[in-house]
């Protein structure tokens, strides 16, 4: 069910929403969090869809604020949808013009679920300072997506500068399956010194940098990032150990080949995950991700990282490879 | 030596995104053509692979009498995965998985077959890299346990002392049919496998809601102060099925509801509901608390008034004509096997003194439901007495299945000028707050076996203690040739079950 309210106010929206929920026999008591999506004009559809899918695992109230022209006349329009496509969530899309184009606590607080965690998500851009943002300040969790920026190094430096416990980034979340497999491989190997870590993927992918930094920091090794001509996301990571090489290589989108000093090559399911899957993982725990904070603020400056844009790379031609920001 | 998780520099206790993946291993299924294997076990294994929780060097071996090649078996696995797996079927994942699938043809007493199994395992250690880690899953009738275990021992597959890797064995209920047979069975298993390599599967313990009992009790502050005999009047634990025994007469006749369900599932639920807080989730701590409370269970002195047993009759249940127990195929006309059993037990601890626990289980009851209801004492109702006499008895109901969740029942004022009181429900649905992605119980349990994490598996001592609780009832029924009372299909058991609670001035909840 979809309801539109033109030129309205937050309390009118709240009233309408309560009435709609009551009429449909839905109550909001089992919603576990409020997700506030801070979107730009014309780009919100994918983010909303992902949030709705993620709400199957974490039933939530989704508030999407779309910033329209700031110099237009002050005006707030809203769309409410519950049931059907909205999945296990209720979605409120706010279109703000003029003063309402700025998402602030004052603007939306009537719509937040009482006493439930708030998650703020910037799907398109990295805000100047997430934790100082009016919504970011009241949120337990602030999700950015550094992969949307042009220069990963710069944006990561920016994130590091403003990092506050509770910040997290989708470029880091996308790495989880890789990190799980790398840790599992090392569980099976004898301890050995790692001479060098190398990670290959797009020069635009912050995931490549984050993975390199994490590995370099934890393993105490220098990191080599190979980014030449790679118009695809993270596709290979290798640890050069004294006893041989551990390598995960994924030319396509789902199966990675594992090479290790012991035993023959093996294949593991390591699919590229959708935005919804990454978001669902992110919403599973709302306490600060300290390891991300450590990688961002300590590992990146400390680890010696060489970016090699000229290495001769031969990548298997496959039909279906990953997007630049994928991991 | 491989890195242990502690020495792995990539592991960090703060890094909670890094879930554990099972190490290289081979899982051998005995009884792979059974219903359970087809509908639950094989799909669960695939789901684990698909979720990336099993290592690339995982191998699956079916052992059975069918004249199958590896490829025939692969086809079987594929069919059951496609029909029953929870996650989507992915061709590339399947291809990777199926390379590690083998079938060993043979009977349970055939030495050549076990020699072939050994060779197959050795081959997989070599080619697939399973590194001598072998788990044997016995999804077979207990009669065949001894034979299979003996053969595993004879062919040096059970011992891992002289060879690398671990050996584990997984067994399913029933763990015997009384204390003596349980001990016998256990001695057979533990003769071959060391105590901590034996994993007894009670799939109920793999269910999210059952694990949630611990979270609900010990992660919250508001329930625990009430969780004792000062406030609780009694506890009802119910596991009801709306179906009959179907074609399972061969298994069911002579076993009955008490042995089939109460001895294992219901007493485990009782233990989790009544136990003290363990100091950690460590298997030893958790099991110690469960054992303490099971050991403190006492039976009422007058056993005759502490049970009710029944057999379902034929009739018209919920829109269809159904057979009575004696009309089911292969049930002898003089069978005294109960299809419904209700028991009353006490727990002789400071916390539970004077609080009876009523357990009931049966077939062809009103609906399929498993729940734990903690019923509180009545409030004195000085203010709201009179008409409101039947209200004000609070309850916390933990619904194990279906509609997993919890209900809180309390009194509320009816709108209007008079002070009328009515009971209302406050509901938490697991599925509303954390929807659909709950893994199957077997996924969790199989993964735990491969990771070697035993907290969710009952130890032999718990099995023994459960039999010690049930055996006096079974012996009483046997000695007095107690004939179960008939009950209508779709009802909540025989009249004697209701009388049993009426004697205590209580009534069964209608689940």
The 10s digit of each residue's pLDDT in B35-68 is 889 999 999 999 999 888 998 889 999 999 999 9
Rg (alpha carbons) of chain B, rounded to whole number: 25
Exposure pattern of A144-165 as b/e (b: 16+ CB <10 Å)? bbbbbbeebeebbebbbebbee
Residue of chain A whose Cα is closest to the Cα of B5: A187
Choose, from B134, B177, B203, B265, the residue flagged as catalytic.
Answer: B265
Given a cut of 80, whether residue B385 has pLDDT beyond it is no
Given a cut of 80, whether residue A321 has pLDDT beyond it is no
Query: How many residues make up chain B in this entry?
Result: 511
Q: Which residue in A115, A110, A157, A165 sits closest to A296, CA to CA?
A: A157
Lowest mean pLDDT among A264-273, B159-168, B438-447: B159-168
Given a cut of 60, whether residue B436 has pLDDT beyond it is no
Tell me how far apart the alpha carbons of residues B111 and B66 are, in angstroms, rounded to a whole number. 16
Q: Do A184 and B428 touch (CB under 8 A)?
A: no
At A229, the pLDDT band (50, 70, 90 cuts) reads: low
> Any CB–CB contact under 8 A between B100 and chain A?
no
What is the pLDDT of chain A when averaged over all its residues?
88
The torsion of the CA quartet A108, A113, A114, A115, rounded to 10 degrees, works out to -110
Residue from A55, A181, A188, A254 to probe the interface with B (highest B Cβ count within 10 Å): A188
- Smallest CA–CA separation between A240 and chain B, in Å? 15
Neighbours of A34 (CB within 10 A): 22
Residue, of A91 and B358, whose pLDDT is higher: B358
Q: Which residue in B328, B133, B169 sits closest to B250, CA to CA?
A: B328
What is the pLDDT of chain B when averaged over all its residues?
90
pLDDT at A230: 56
- Smallest CA–CA separation between A326 and chain B, in Å? 18
- Smallest CA–CA separation between A317 and chain B, in Å? 17
Domain spanning B205-503: CATH superfamily: Dihydrodipicolinate Reductase; domain 2 (3.30.360.10)
pLDDT at A85: 66
Residue of chain B whose Cα is closest to the Cα of A87: B435
Q: Do A263 and B57 touch (CB under 8 A)?
A: yes
Verify cis geometry, omega within 30 degrees of 0, for the bond prior to B174: yes
Residue of chain B whose Cα is closest to the Cα of A280: B437
Q: Is B5 helix (H, G, I), strand (E, B) or coil?
A: coil
At B370, the pLDDT band (50, 70, 90 cuts) reads: very high
Q: Is A297 helix (H, G, I), strand (E, B) or coil?
A: helix
Q: Do B3 and A180 touch (CB under 8 A)?
A: no
Q: Which two tokens stand for residue B58?
A: 């995982």
Please give the C-alpha separations between residue B384 and each of B108, B378, B421, in angstroms, as whole numbers.
Answer: 68, 12, 7
Q: Do A188 and B23 touch (CB under 8 A)?
A: yes
Q: What is the pLDDT of residues A29-79, one digit of tens each?
A: 678 899 999 998 877 888 888 888 888 778 889 999 999 999 999 999 999
Q: What is the pLDDT of residues A105-159, one digit of tens each?
A: 999 999 999 888 999 999 988 888 999 999 999 999 999 999 888 788 889 999 9
Q: Name, in order, each residue with C-beta under 8 angstroms of B302's C-beta and a sequence gap of 6 or more.
A: none
pLDDT at A135: 95
At B6, the pLDDT band (50, 70, 90 cuts) reads: low
Q: Do B18 and A88 touch (CB under 8 A)?
A: no
Q: Do B429 and A30 touch (CB under 8 A)?
A: yes
> Any CB–CB contact under 8 A between B143 and chain A?
no
Q: Which residue in B101, B132, B96 sits closest to B24, CA to CA?
A: B132
Place of tokens 């001695």: B187
> Any CB–CB contact under 8 A between B14 and chain A?
yes
> Any CB–CB contact under 8 A between B302 and chain A?
no
Q: Do A263 and B129 touch (CB under 8 A)?
A: yes
Q: Is B446 helix (H, G, I), strand (E, B) or coil?
A: helix
Q: Determine what percent of chain B falls in helix, strand and coil, rounding each to the nearest 5.
A: 40, 20, 40
> Any CB–CB contact under 8 A between B433 and chain A?
yes
Please give the C-alpha separations between residue B236 and each of B241, B294, B339, in angstroms, as whole numbers.
Answer: 16, 16, 18
> Any CB–CB contact under 8 A between B437 and chain A?
yes
User: Which chain B residues are Cβ-neighbours of A190 within 8 angstroms?
Assistant: 1-3
> Which secondary-structure segment (H or E) carries A14?
helix A10-23
Place of tokens 């301890």: A191
Q: Which residue in B100, B94, B165 sits closest to B127, CA to CA?
A: B100
A261 within 8 A of A244, measured Cβ to Cβ: yes
Q: Are strands B134-138 and B167-172 parallel, antiparallel or unpaired?
A: parallel
> Any CB–CB contact under 8 A between B510 and chain A?
no
Q: Name, in order, each residue with C-beta under 8 angstroms of B269's C-beta and a sequence gap of 6 or more.
A: B204, B210, B213, B237, B372, B400
Q: Which residue in B304, B363, B348 sits closest to B503, CA to CA?
A: B304
Residue of chain B whose Cα is closest to the Cα of A178: B18
User: Which chain A residues are Cβ-neighbours of B11 within 8 angstroms?
Assistant: 183, 187
pLDDT at B162: 72
Q: Do B90 and A254 touch (CB under 8 A)?
A: yes
Residue, of B162 and B31, whose pLDDT is higher: B31
The whole-model pTM stands at 0.87
Q: Do A88 and B432 touch (CB under 8 A)?
A: yes
- Smallest CA–CA separation between B205 and chain A, in Å? 22
- Smallest CA–CA separation between A112 and chain B, in Å? 17
At A88, the pLDDT band (50, 70, 90 cuts) reads: low
Residue B246's φ and ψ, nearest 5 degrees, are: 60, -125
Please report the number of interchain residue pairs, chain A to chain B, with beta-carbon separation below 8 angstroms: 118
Residue of chain A whose Cα is closest to the Cα of B426: A29
Tell me what the mean pLDDT of segment A159-183 comes to: 95
| Assembly ipTM | 0.86
Tell me how far apart the alpha carbons of residues A150 and A155 are, in angstroms, rounded to a whole number. 8
pLDDT at B386: 61
User: Which chain B residues are Cβ-neighbours of A30 within 8 angstroms?
Assistant: 428-429, 432-433
Tell me how far apart the alpha carbons of residues B58 and B488 are, in angstroms, rounded to a whole number. 50
pLDDT at A58: 83
Whether B265 is a known active-site residue: answer: yes
Tell me how far apart the alpha carbons of residues A122 and A73 are, in angstroms, rounded to a whole number. 25
Lowest mean pLDDT among A113-122, B158-167, B497-506: B158-167
pLDDT at B1: 39
- Smallest CA–CA separation between B218 and chain A, in Å? 19
Q: Do A179 and B24 touch (CB under 8 A)?
A: no
Given a cut of 70, whether residue A273 has pLDDT beyond it is yes
Verify cis geometry, omega within 30 degrees of 0, for the bond prior to A152: no
Residue from A184, A271, A277 to probe the interface with B (highest B Cβ count within 10 Å): A184
> Any CB–CB contact under 8 A between B17 and chain A?
yes
Q: Which two tokens stand for residue A149?
A: 């920026």
Place of tokens 């070599």: B126
A224 within 8 A of A308, measured Cβ to Cβ: yes
Query: Quick one: angle between helices B283-295 and B267-274, nearest 10?
Result: 100
Q: Do B56 and A258 touch (CB under 8 A)?
A: yes
Q: What is the pLDDT of residues B441-499, one digit of tens each?
A: 899 999 999 999 888 899 999 999 999 999 999 999 999 999 999 999 999 999 999 99
Neighbours of B189 (CB within 10 A): 22
- Smallest CA–CA separation between A200 and chain B, in Å? 19
> Which secondary-structure segment (H or E) carries A47?
helix A44-54
Given a cut of 80, whether residue A25 has pLDDT beyond it is no
Given a cut of 60, whether residue A289 has pLDDT beyond it is yes
- Helices marked H in B128-255 — which ranges? 145-154, 179-192, 208-218, 249-252
User: Which chain A residues are Cβ-neighbours of B437 within 8 angstroms?
Assistant: 56-57, 280
Q: Do B16 and A281 touch (CB under 8 A)?
A: no
Given a cut of 50, whether residue A165 has pLDDT beyond it is yes
> Any CB–CB contact under 8 A between B294 and chain A?
no
pLDDT at B282: 87
At B387, the pLDDT band (50, 70, 90 cuts) reads: low
> Any CB–CB contact under 8 A between B425 and chain A?
no
B25-172 and B205-503: identical CATH topology: no
Using CB atoms, which residue from B3, B20, B437 is nearest to A186? B3
Q: Is B360 helix (H, G, I), strand (E, B) or coil?
A: strand
pLDDT at A314: 61
A95 within 8 A of A77, measured Cβ to Cβ: yes
B268 within 8 A of B388, measured Cβ to Cβ: no
User: Which chain B residues are Cβ-neighbours of A179 within 8 angstroms?
Assistant: 10, 15, 17-18
Using CB atoms, which residue from B9, B17, B52 is nearest to A268? B52
Tell me how far apart the alpha carbons of residues B106 and B112 are, in angstroms, rounded to a whole number. 8
Tell me how far apart the alpha carbons of residues B319 and B75 are, in angstroms, rounded to a whole number. 39
Please give the C-alpha separations between residue B461 and each of B175, B179, B186, B284, B290, in angstroms, as whole numbers.
Answer: 12, 11, 10, 12, 10
Domain boundaries, chain B: 25-172, 205-503
B307 within 8 A of B344, measured Cβ to Cβ: yes
* CATH top-level class of B25-172: alpha beta
At B93, the pLDDT band (50, 70, 90 cuts) reads: confident
> Any CB–CB contact under 8 A between B1 and chain A?
yes
Residue of chain B whose Cα is closest to the Cα of A184: B21
Residue ranges of B 335-394 with Cβ closer than 8 A to chain A: none
Instruction: Give counts: helices (H), strands (E), chain B.
Output: 16, 18
Residue A139's φ and ψ, nearest 5 degrees, are: -90, 145
Write the burial class of residue B375 (CB in 10 Å: 0-12 exposed, 13-18 middle, 19+ buried).
Answer: buried
């Amino acid at each position: 069910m979809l309801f539109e309210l033109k030129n309205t106010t937050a309390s009118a929206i709240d009233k309408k929403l309560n009435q709609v929920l009551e009429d449909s026999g839905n109550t909001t008591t089992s919603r576990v969090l409020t997700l506030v999506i801070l979107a730009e004009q014309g780009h919100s559809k994918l983010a909303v869809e992902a949030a709705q899918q993620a709400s199957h695992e974490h039933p939530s109230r989704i508030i999407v604020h779309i910033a329209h022209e700031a110099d237009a006349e002050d005006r707030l329009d809203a769309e409410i949808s519950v049931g059907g496509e909205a999945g296990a969530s209720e979605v409120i899309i706010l279109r703000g013009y003029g003063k309402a184009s700025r998402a602030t606590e004052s603007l939306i607080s009537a719509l937040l679920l009482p006493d439930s965690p708030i998650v703020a998500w910037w799907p398109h851009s990295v805000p100047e300072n997430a934790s100082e943002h009016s919504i970011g300040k009241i949120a337990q969790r602030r999700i950015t997506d550094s992969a949307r920026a042009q220069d990963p190094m710069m944006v990561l430096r920016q994130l590091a500068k403003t990092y506050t416990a509770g910040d997290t980034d989708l470029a880091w979340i996308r790495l989880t399956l890789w990190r799980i497999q790398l840790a599992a491989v090392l569980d099976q190997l004898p301890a050995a010194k790692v001479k060098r870590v190398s990670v290959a993927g797009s020069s635009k992918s912050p995931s490549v940098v984050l993975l390199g930094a994490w590995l370099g920091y934890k393993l105490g090794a220098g990191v080599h990032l190979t980014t030449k001509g790679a118009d695809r996301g993270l596709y290979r990571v290798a640890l050069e150990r004294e006893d041989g090489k551990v390598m995960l290589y994924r030319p396509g989108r789902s199966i990675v080949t594992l090479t290790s000093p012991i035993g023959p090559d093996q294949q593991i399911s390591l699919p590229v995950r959708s935005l919804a899957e990454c978001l669902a993982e992110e919403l599973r725990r709302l306490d600060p991700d300290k390891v991300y904070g450590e990688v961002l603020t300590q590992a990146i400056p400390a680890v010696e990282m060489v970016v090699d844009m000229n290495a001769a790379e031969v990548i298997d031609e496959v039909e279906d490879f990953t997007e630049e920001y994928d991991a | 030596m491989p890195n242990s998780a502690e020495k792995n520099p990539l592991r960090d206790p703060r890094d909670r995104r890094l879930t554990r993946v099972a190490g290289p291993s081979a899982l051998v299924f005995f009884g792979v053509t059974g219903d359970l294997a087809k509908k639950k076990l094989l799909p669960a294994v695939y789901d684990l692979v698909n979720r990336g929780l099993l290592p690339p060097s995982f191998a699956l071996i079916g052992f059975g009498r069918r004249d199958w090649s590896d490829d025939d078996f692969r086809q079987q696995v594929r069919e059951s995965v496609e029909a029953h797996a929870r996650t989507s079927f992915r061709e590339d994942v399947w291809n990777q998985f199926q390379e590690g699938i083998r079938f060993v043809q043979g009977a349970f007493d055939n030495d050549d077959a076990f020699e072939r199994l050994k060779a197959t395992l050795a081959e997989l250690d070599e080619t697939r890299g399973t590194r001598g880690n072998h788990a044997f899953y016995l999804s077979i009738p207990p009669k065949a346990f001894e034979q299979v275990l003996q053969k595993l021992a004879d062919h040096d597959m059970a011992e891992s002392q002289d060879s690398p890797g671990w050996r584990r064995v997984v067994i399913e209920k029933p763990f015997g049919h009384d204390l003596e047979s349980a001990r016998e069975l256990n001695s057979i298993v533990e003769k071959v496998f060391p105590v901590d390599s034996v994993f007894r599967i009670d799939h109920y313990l793999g269910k999210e809601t059952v694990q949630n009992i611990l979270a609900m009790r010990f992660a919250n502050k508001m329930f625990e102060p009430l969780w004792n005999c000062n406030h609780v009047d009694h506890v009802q634990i119910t596991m009801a099925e709306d179906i009959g025994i179907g074609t399972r007469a061969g298994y069911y006749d002579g076993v009955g509801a008490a042995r089939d369900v109460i001895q294992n599932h219901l007493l485990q639920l009782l233990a989790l509901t009544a136990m003290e807080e363990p100091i950690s989730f460590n298997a030893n701590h958790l099991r110690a608390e469960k054992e303490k409370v099971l050991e403190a269970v006492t039976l009422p002195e007058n056993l005759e008034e502490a049970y009710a047993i029944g057999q379902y009759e034929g009739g018209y249940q919920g829109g269809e004509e159904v057979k009575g127990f004696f009309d089911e195929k292969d049930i002898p006309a003089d069978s005294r096997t109960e299809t419904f059993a209700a028991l009353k037990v006490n727990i002789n601890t400071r916390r539970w003194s004077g609080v009876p626990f009523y357990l009931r289980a049966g077939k062809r009851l009103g609906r399929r439901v498993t729940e734990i209801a903690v019923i509180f004492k009545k409030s004195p109702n000085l203010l709201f007495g009179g008409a409101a006499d039947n209200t004000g008895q609070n309850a916390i109901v933990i619904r194990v299945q279906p509609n997993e969740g919890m209900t809180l029942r309390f009194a509320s004022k009816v709108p209007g000028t008079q002070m009328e009181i009515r009971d209302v429900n406050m509901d938490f649905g697991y599925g509303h707050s954390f929807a659909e992605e709950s893994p199957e119980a077997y996924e969790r349990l199989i993964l735990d076996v491969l990771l070697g994490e035993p907290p969710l598996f009952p130890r032999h001592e718990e099995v023994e203690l459960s039999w010690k609780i049930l055996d006096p009832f079974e012996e009483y029924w046997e000695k007095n040739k107690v004939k179960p009372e008939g009950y209508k299909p779709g009802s909540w058991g025989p009249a004697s079950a209701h009388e049993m609670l009426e004697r205590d001035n209580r009534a069964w909840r209608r689940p």
